[in-house]
Homo-oligomer: A and B are copies of this chain.
Amino acid sequence: MKDDRARLLLSLNVEPGDPRLASALREQGGAAALLDAVRRRPAMWPEPWQHVTDGPEDQVEHMLRVGREQGLRWITPGHEEWPEQLAGLDEVETAGGAGGAPLGLWCRGTGHLRLLSEHAVAVVGARDCTTYGAEVAGDIAASAAASGFTVVSGAAFGIDASAHRGGLAAGDAGIAVLACGADLDYPRAHASLLGRIAEYGVVVSEYPPGRAAARSRFLARNRLIAALADGLVVVEAAHRSGSLNTLQWADRLGRTTMAVPGPVTSAQSQGTHDAVRSGKAVLVGSGADVVAELVGFHGRIAKDRAVDVDPVATAVFGQLHDASPRQPAEIARELRIGTLHTVRALRRLEADGAVEATAEGWQRTATSSPAP
Interface residues of A (CB under 8 A from B): 132, 135-136, 260-265, 269-270, 273, 276-277, 282-286, 289
Q: Once the chains bind, are B261 and A289 in contact (CB under 8 Å)?
A: no
Q: Once the chains bind, are A289 and B262 in contact (CB under 8 Å)?
A: no
Residues of B within 8 Å of A263, CB to CB, are 132, 261-263
The CA of A286 and the CA of B269, in the complex, are separated in Å by: 12
Residues of B within 8 Å of A289, CB to CB, are 277
Q: Once the chains bind, are A283 and B283 in contact (CB under 8 Å)?
A: yes
Residue of B nearest to A289 (CB): B277
Residues of B within 8 Å of A260, CB to CB, are 264
The CA of A260 and the CA of B284, in the complex, are separated in Å by: 14
Residues of B within 8 Å of A276, CB to CB, are 261, 276, 283
Jot down 13 A-B pairs with beta carbons below 8 A, ordered by A.
A132-B263, A132-B265, A136-B265, A261-B261, A261-B264, A261-B273, A261-B276, A262-B264, A263-B263, A269-B285, A273-B283, A273-B285, A277-B285
Distance in angstroms from A162 CB to nearest chain B CB is 14
Residues of B within 8 Å of A132, CB to CB, are 263, 265
Distance in angstroms from A310 CB to nearest chain B CB is 27
Residue of B nearest to A276 (CB): B283
Between A260, A263, A270, A282, the greatest number of chain B beta carbons within 10 A of the residue's beta carbon is seen for A263
